[in-house]
């Protein structure tokens, strides 16, 4: 396991690039009865600070949960790409119309037919505390090369494909 800082631009870019390869996440919230509730959501953006952005209606179950406990877990999974990401952080509802328009894409109209000015439409911003990423594809492709190089150098190969990013 490797631990890295999200304050480093290269680390942040690596996490962002991998999230953008997947786009759809399961967001897990804690309900008022302290049960976990997860639902799929499309990632609208990962900003320059590493915050995750989603659209949400203010009457949805996840928004009700977040109003009581804003700690969330966001899971990205792509078996075909060999990438798995778990993000923990704190969610907040953003009603800023300028931002709603900034992140808007016409493809979202099937989900929000009234567009970015739809009543009750908000942005859900997740400020990342920590992220974990497993890159199985890369480790599978590079395992042989790393093992060979380590043998030549008479060292143990570093085959770790698990990275933890801290904010």
94-126 per-position pLDDT tens digit: 999 999 999 999 999 998 999 999 999 999 999
Please name which of 39, 53, 55 lies closest in space to residue 118, comparing C-alpha atoms: 55
Cβ of 86: how many Cβ atoms within 10 Å? 17
**Coil, helix or strand for 5?**
strand
For the domain made up of 2-166, give the CATH fold: Pnp Oxidase; Chain A (2.30.110)
Mean pLDDT for all residues in the chain: 88
Burial category of 77 from C-beta neighbours within 10 Å (exposed 0-12, middle 13-18, buried 19 and up): middle
pLDDT (0 to 100) of residue 150: 73
Which of 20-29, 80-89, 154-163 bottoms out in mean pLDDT, i.e. has the lowest?
Answer: 154-163
Token pair for residue 60? 């949805």
Token pair for residue 56? 């949400």
Cβ of 110: how many Cβ atoms within 10 Å? 7
The helix (H) or strand (E) run that includes residue 14 is helix 9-22
Q: For the whole model, what pTM was predicted?
A: 0.83
- Confidence band of 137 (pLDDT split at 50, 70, 90): low
CA distance 96 to 25: 23
CA distance 161 to 117: 43
78-95 per-position pLDDT tens digit: 988 888 999 999 999 999
pLDDT (0 to 100) of residue 146: 67
33-65 per-position pLDDT tens digit: 888 989 999 999 999 999 999 999 988 888 999
Q: Which residues contact 107 (CB under 8 A, 6 or more apart)?
A: none
The ranges assigned to domains in the chain are 2-166
Give the pLDDT mean for 135-142.
61
How does strand 71-78 pair with strand 83-94?
A: antiparallel
pLDDT at residue 159 above 70?
no
pLDDT (0 to 100) of residue 138: 58
CA distance 158 to 2: 10
């Amino acid at each position: 396991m490797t631990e890295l800082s999200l304050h480093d631009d290269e680390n942040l870019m690596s996490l962002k690039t991998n999230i953008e390869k997947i786009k759809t996440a399961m967001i897990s919230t804690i309900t008022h009865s302290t049960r976990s509730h997860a639902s799929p959501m499309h990632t609208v953006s990962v900003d320059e600070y590493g915050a995750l952005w989603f659209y949400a209606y203010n009457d949805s179950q996840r928004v009700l949960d977040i109003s009581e406990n804003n700690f969330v877990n966001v899971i990205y999974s792509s078996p075909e790409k060999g990438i798995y990401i778990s993000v923990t952080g704190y969610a907040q509802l953003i009603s800023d119309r300028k931002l709603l328009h900034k992140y808007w894409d016409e493809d979202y109209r099937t989900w929000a037919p009234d567009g970015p000015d739809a009543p009750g439409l908000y942005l859900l911003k997740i400020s990342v505390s920590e992220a974990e990423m497993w890159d199985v594809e890369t480790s599978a492709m590079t395992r042989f090369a790393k093992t060979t190089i380590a043998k030549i150098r008479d060292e143990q190969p570093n085959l770790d494909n698990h990275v933890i990013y801290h904010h």
